[in-house]
Structure 1
Amino acid sequence: MSASRRPAGAWRWAAVLRSPHRLGFLGGAAVLCMASLWWAWCLWEPGLAPLTWPASLIHAVVMGFGFLPLFFAGFLFTAGPRWLHVPAVPARMLLWPVSTLVLSWALFLWGAHVRTDIAALAVMAGALSWGWITWRLAQLLRSSEERDRFHVRLITWACASGTLAWALVAAGLWQCEPTWVRAALGWGLWGFLMPVFVIAADRMMPVFSLVRLRWLGDRGVVLALLGVCLIQGGHAATRAVGMDGGPVLTMTQSWLSSLAGVVVLGMAWHWSEVQNMRLRMLAMLNVGVLWLGLALMLPSGSLASVHALTMGFMGSVWLAMVSRVSSTHAGRSIAADQITWGLFWAMQLATGLRVAAALLPTMQQSLWVAAASLWLGVVGAWAWRHARWWGRA
């Protein structure tokens, strides 16, 4: 059938290239589903396919650096030009780095079962692609005459930090140095992913704007949270290489993290008091902030804390914001409809099961499998639904 005779609602690759968010989100969804399916398979059939590295470490790498940067790219090159008041970026400009990132993670998972050097080269290809995306974002920043470039500037620095951590993962895989990989993962989580979430949230979510501490200034809350992220990232990286800094520094880091957790929980409570939590989108974002507070209060570096942060906070905010952007650009008036609302609460259950698995060692394996299976079902259903929107006019 010719292009002119296709139904108006038919899925078309040309529609994906209409906007950076469509291309980036589609690539991110593909990697997310691929990584989630691989991990669930590893838990369903442990030992079925030999691995060159521990499965948990491969899982951490692909979930840490795999899908979120692609969603970042789609979002930043859609919203960034508007924030900076510069011309829109054509999606075709991102076609080769997004394609490289998706293919590199597929190659990485295959190499994890075959050869370590293949996995390392795949990660390095991804790091180079992400470095190019970061450089292009920096170009947008330099071309802007907008006075308020605070958020884009900080996000660009965070993305550059992520490029270095990404490259260190590749180097650790190439040199068979797991300590390098673990250090890069710790810094990548707190020095790359978390800052992007916190900075974007300060720009788009009213929860941070409701709390203004006079002695910290107008942007004191977000800067304080970024400081906590850097401390957490430094602690995670140094601990991975056997340099914990001694009991005094460890206790100080733990105390600061717990204090930040209390402040974040207080912010979430205050936000729920002044906002209408019957609005599902606001409720979803507030639940994510609650997970952030809990993650900061749990023992630093524990699996419970890591998954409360990644699945709870990042997962909730990611699902809410990407659903909102996708729905708005697809011409849908309700971003959090019944399907999205149901998937969101299924994700909360998956997160609760995974955190419980870390706290209940005797039930760990069964809770792991249940959490991974439910997570796969949630992201699979969500991706299938939204992928159809991204490919339609």
Structure 2
Amino acid sequence: MNEQTKNSEPIASEGRERGPAPVLSYGFRPFFLAAGAYGALSLAFWVGTFAGIVTLPTGLAPSLWHGHEMLFGFAAAVNSGFLLTAVSAWTGSPPINGGRLASLVALWLVGRVAFWFADFLTPFAVAALDLIYIPVLIIFVIVRLLGAGQRRNLVFPILLGLLFAANLLYHLEAVGWGAGTARVSLHMSVYVFALLIAAISGRIVPSFTANALKELGDDADIRSIPVVEKLVMVAMVTAAVADLLIPGGTIAGGLALVAAILLTLRMRYWGTLRVLNQPILWILHLGHIWLVAAFACSAVSGLTGLFPAGATLHAFTSGAIGTTVIGMMTRVALGHTGRELKASPITVVAYFLVTGAALVRVAAVAFAPLYTNSWILASGVLWSLAFALYVVIYWPVLTGPRINVSSA
């Protein structure tokens, strides 16, 4: 039996799901579907807005609405699905499923509906409906972790708390109680997601890679470097705080450079070049490479002013978040429904579409700025197609029962 069929991933119990409908049996199922659909839909509407075809329902700048919904709508849904599933494995407890899971999805959806129908609601109503979700998620997660004595993993509800604080900053400006806090909110949330990606990638990418190579008879020295792991997180937090307090300055740029160097060193023993023939693995490595690139772009921007701030921001979002997200959404969906851990050709197409969207949004905009509007439109189309493909491909996987794949 090889690594692709034994599905021994440290995320959720692999027992056959019973009780509630399959789609409500584990957190990743409804939230990954919701994220895929919302990632495609919201970007399609943003493209329409950018092209002057549709008008977004927002009292703030359309770009702020777009940023909020991609971070607190799309990315938050993916993060929710992953954490709700992971907590079950970390604590050895039954998954949060059935009615409780449905209620969480409903709370997330209420926030999205509030943003889409903001023209018919007061800013205070939109804020109340949108802000309630993350605290409830934190309660679900932290109760499980504390009950099992899992203090090591309390970093995740802490990061969720920071995400809630960032969302609150957005709504302070929307209701007229703050000036410029919405933009700070988006930048803060980007860094929170970057930290989440760094924390999760450091745990799973070396492990997944080592297991896959071992099954192929490759005993490569795949491992993490403990001291670098600690320094990476410190450097990222320091760079983030500096950029939020003194945006675009040389101090923030210098600290971003340190973070980029440490993130590169972190991958020294990850065996990236050994998994180029395994898309289900290289997409996760690529997500981390985008994290390196994002901090490198931030360093160049802060130290020289030669790299556009918008392109830097999208190296984090379209690049690091987008690539890591689609990699995790596909791997978790396959591995925790009993399927072979192998990306289908259409899934690989989705990987390339997301990667293309990020490259166009970052590199093309930075180096061919005369065509910025066209690049942004092209990037949005590629992204929407990628996540629409995900929904189509993985709908039966996420809504159907778990299957068992034999080693044959």
The two structures share one fold, judged by TM-score above 0.5: yes
Question: Partner of 1:263 in structure 2?
Answer: 262
**TM-score, normalised on structure 2?**
0.81
* Residue pairs, 1:302-313, within 5 angstroms: 302-313=309-320
Q: Which amino acid aligns with 2:353?
A: A
Question: Partner of 2:189 in structure 1?
Answer: 188
Does residue 163 of structure 2 align to residue 202 of structure 1?
no
Displacement of 1:51: 4.9
Question: Partner of 1:142 in structure 2?
Answer: 146
Question: Partner of 1:340 in structure 2?
Answer: 347
Q: Which amino acid aligns with 1:32?
A: G
Q: Structure 1 residues 186 and 46, CA, compared in 2 at 3 Å: closer, same or farther? A: same
Once the two structures are superposed, residues 191-232 of structure 1 have per-residue CA deviations (whole angstroms, 9 ceiling, x without a partner) of: x212221211122121897342xxxxx3x3333232233233
Q: Structure 1 residues 84 and 15, CA, compared in 2 at 3 Å: closer, same or farther? A: closer
Q: Structure 1 residues 31 and 50, CA, compared in 2 at 3 Å: closer, same or farther? A: closer
Does residue 137 of structure 2 align to residue 124 of structure 1?
no
Question: 1-side partners of 2:56 and 2:170: how far apart?
Answer: 23
Q: Structure 1 residues 50 and 288, CA, compared in 2 at 3 Å: closer, same or farther? A: closer
Moved more, 262-271 or 324-333: 262-271
Question: Partner of 1:228 in structure 2?
Answer: 235
Does residue 37 of structure 2 align to residue 37 of structure 1?
no
- The number of residues matched between the two structures is 360
Would the aligned equivalents of 1:183 and 1:236 in 2 still touch at CA under 8 Å? no
Instruction: Specify which of 392, 395, 398 is matched with residue 384 of structure 1.
Output: 392
Question: 2-side partners of 1:93 and 1:17: how far apart?
Answer: 9
Q: Structure 1 residues 273 and 162, CA, compared in 2 at 3 Å: closer, same or farther? A: closer
* Residue pairs, 1:305-384, within 5 angstroms: 305-355=312-362, 356-384=364-392
Moved more, 68-77 or 134-143: 68-77
State the SS of the aligned residue for 1:86: coil
Q: Which amino acid aligns with 1:294?
A: A
Would the aligned equivalents of 2:198 and 2:288 in 1 still touch at CA under 8 Å? no
Displacement of 1:348: 1.1
Once the two structures are superposed, residues 316-345 of structure 1 have per-residue CA deviations (whole angstroms, 9 ceiling, x without a partner) of: 111111101111233321331211111101
Q: Which amino acid aligns with 2:400?
A: R
Displacement of 1:142: 0.9
Q: Structure 1 residues 183 and 276, CA, compared in 2 at 3 Å: closer, same or farther? A: closer
Once the two structures are superposed, residues 91-125 of structure 1 have per-residue CA deviations (whole angstroms, 9 ceiling, x without a partner) of: 421222221212321320331xx26x645533432
Question: Partner of 1:157 in structure 2?
Answer: 158
State the SS of the aligned residue for 2:78: helix
Question: 2-side partners of 1:47 and 1:30: how far apart?
Answer: 19
* Residue pairs, 1:9-88, within 5 angstroms: 14-45=21-52, 51-88=58-95
Would the aligned equivalents of 2:45 and 2:54 in 1 still touch at CA under 8 Å? no
* Residue pairs, 1:247-262, within 5 angstroms: 250-262=249-261
Would the aligned equivalents of 1:124 and 1:170 in 2 still touch at CA under 8 Å? no
Question: 2-side partners of 1:24 and 1:391: how far apart?
Answer: 11
Once the two structures are superposed, residues 54-77 of structure 1 have per-residue CA deviations (whole angstroms, 9 ceiling, x without a partner) of: 111111111121112222222112
Would the aligned equivalents of 1:108 and 1:118 in 2 still touch at CA under 8 Å? no
Q: Structure 1 residues 97 and 14, CA, compared in 2 at 3 Å: closer, same or farther? A: same
State the SS of the aligned residue for 1:66: helix
- 5+ residue gaps in structure 2? 1-19, 210-221, 303-307, 402-408
Once the two structures are superposed, residues 253-278 of structure 1 have per-residue CA deviations (whole angstroms, 9 ceiling, x without a partner) of: 21121122133234446534674332
Question: Partner of 2:17 in structure 1?
Answer: none
Q: Which amino acid aligns with 1:184?
A: S
Question: 1-side partners of 2:50 and 2:105: how far apart?
Answer: 29
Would the aligned equivalents of 1:327 and 1:333 in 2 still touch at CA under 8 Å? yes
Question: Partner of 2:404 in structure 1?
Answer: none
Q: Which amino acid aligns with 1:381?
A: L
Would the aligned equivalents of 1:351 and 1:371 in 2 still touch at CA under 8 Å? yes
Moved more, 269-278 or 253-262: 269-278
Moved more, 177-186 or 131-140: 177-186
Would the aligned equivalents of 2:194 and 2:316 in 1 still touch at CA under 8 Å? no
State the SS of the aligned residue for 2:35: helix
Displacement of 1:357: 1.7
Q: Identity over aligned residues, as a percent? A: 19
Question: 1-side partners of 2:56 and 2:164: how far apart?
Answer: 30
Relative contact order, higher structure (CA 8 A, sep 6+): 2
Q: Structure 1 residues 350 and 138, CA, compared in 2 at 3 Å: closer, same or farther? A: same
Q: Which amino acid aligns with 1:376?
A: S
Displacement of 1:47: 6.8
State the SS of the aligned residue for 2:339: coil
The alignment's C-alpha RMSD in Å is 2.5
Displacement of 1:381: 1.3
Question: 2-side partners of 1:48 and 1:21: how far apart?
Answer: 32
